[in-house]
Structure 1
Amino acid sequence: MFIQPWDAALDEAEWHSWIAEGHDFGILSVNGLPGRPPVAVPTHFTADTGRLLIHLARPNPVWKAIENDPDVLFTVFGDYAFVPGPWRAQPGVPPTDGVPTSYYTAVQFTCRAHILDDPEAKADLLRRQLVHFQPDGDHAPVEPGLPPYGRMLPGIRGLRLDVIEVQAKFKYDDHKSVEHRTAVAERLAGRGEGLDAPAAHQQRRRLDRVGPWKP
């Protein structure tokens, strides 16, 4: 992932906080088998200390690719918006000469994948995921041999992704002037389509921390 200096995470805590705010869906990318294209799987995940936890259906074709090459990427993205050219035109330049861009946040994990087939290991993974996704505990016990989950465990495989490297990108025009970023954030909030509001929030948050960009 290409990251300009002004798009880089300001510190490790920034992307940790962004993930913890509820960005728990991403794309698992695995090198394809010889002669085949890469395999990409959209899925929810749970972040644990130094690792990501996933489960997928046993028939999923991704397993053979992982067994062939366990070095994978997992990408999470969000808070994205299209910024039209006229919004980015420099002072004194015709609005139609402005160049459009995309705003977004992306966190990419380089990982070593470990497949979990032991029933108790899969049950433990599901329990950890349910703590995150159903914290009220409104679900049956997840135990091998007990319904409803026990009879379903053979139909899934668990995946533990040990994180090797993290790249984080917050692309919100931080190299532009304070006035420009303020105006674009206001336009995003006023347009209010799709993820405009969270994109505007990220731009304002970064503006508060960065201020005028200093190379």
Structure 2
Amino acid sequence: MYVPAHFNESRPEVLQDLIKQHPFGMLVTHGASGLDANHIPFELNPQQGELGVLTAHVARANPVWQDVASGDEVLVVFRAADAYISPNWYPSKQEFHKQVPTWNYMVVHAYGRISIRDDERFVRGVVARLTRTHEATQPTPWKMTDGPKDYIDTQLKAIVGLEIEITRLIGKSKLSQNREVRDLRSAGEALKAQGDSVIGDAMLACANTKSA
């Protein structure tokens, strides 16, 4: 990924927080069948390893877990948000007419070594943690014990666990940091007005930092 210095985000805690807030990642592999991409919800344990460990599961029918071998390098892409930026939102455009459209976004590339975990105890733990995390906001959170034991056991046998020890994190927050503060703030406010609050808020935070 091309990362100009002004768009670079290298703080591990910031990148790990983005992963936690946006856990639906794209797993990119290069196995026996060539390049492949799978879209999977991940759980991050930042306390494991130097940069954290990602866990997930895939359907047993998905060939990805047989196409790669434990120890292979993989890439997982996490995207927080993206938004089109119109040059009309920049006050400087009205004065000099020297602005062009762009697209802003925040992403993390997590490189790591994958381990295939085809064992019931690991898979049960992955599903339990994912469920606990994403059911937490429900009025009555669903839990695995809500289903009949034989039914849950059958469902667990139909999936395979994945574990990825992160070896490298690369982050890019393209938020018009290379623009004037007034342009940055104006575009951020325009985004918020149309409902793109994630990128809009991030741009306004950058404007406040630059003007401090």
TM bin, normalised by shorter chain, reads 0.7 to 0.9
Q: Pick from 181, 189, 192: which aligns with 1:189?
A: 192
Q: How many pairs does the alignment contain? A: 203
What is the alpha-carbon distance in structure 1 between the residues aligned to residue 56 and residue 95 of structure 2?
Answer: 51
1:151 aligned counterpart, secondary structure: helix
Shift of 1:138: 2.3
What is the alpha-carbon distance in structure 1 between the residues aligned to residue 6 and residue 156 of structure 2?
Answer: 46
What is the alpha-carbon distance in structure 1 between the residues aligned to residue 211 and residue 9 of structure 2?
Answer: 15
Larger deviation, residues 46-55 vs 61-70: 61-70
Partner in structure 1 of residue 39 of structure 2: 42
* CA deviation map 1:175-197 (0-9, x unaligned): 211111011112112233xxx22
Amino acid at match of 2:76: F
2:152 aligned counterpart, secondary structure: coil
Shift of 1:69: 6.9
Contact 1:115–1:157 (Cα < 8 Å) also in 2:
yes
Amino acid at match of 2:41: H
Structure 1 segments unaligned to the other structure (5+ residues): none
1:176 aligned counterpart, secondary structure: coil
* CA deviation map 1:106-139 (0-9, x unaligned): 0110010011111112112211222211236522
Shift of 1:37: 4.1
Partner in structure 2 of residue 5 of structure 1: 5
What is the alpha-carbon distance in structure 1 between the residues aligned to residue 121 and residue 158 of structure 2?
Answer: 14
Partner in structure 2 of residue 130 of structure 1: 131
C-alpha RMSD of matched pairs (Å): 2.4
Structure 2 segments unaligned to the other structure (5+ residues): 47-51
Q: Pick from 124, 138, 144: which aligns with 1:140?
A: 144
Amino acid at match of 1:44: P
Amino acid at match of 1:17: D
Q: 1:17 to 1:211 in 2, by over 3 A?
A: farther
% identical equivalent positions: 21
Partner in structure 2 of residue 85 of structure 1: 87
Contact 1:142–1:149 (Cα < 8 Å) also in 2:
no
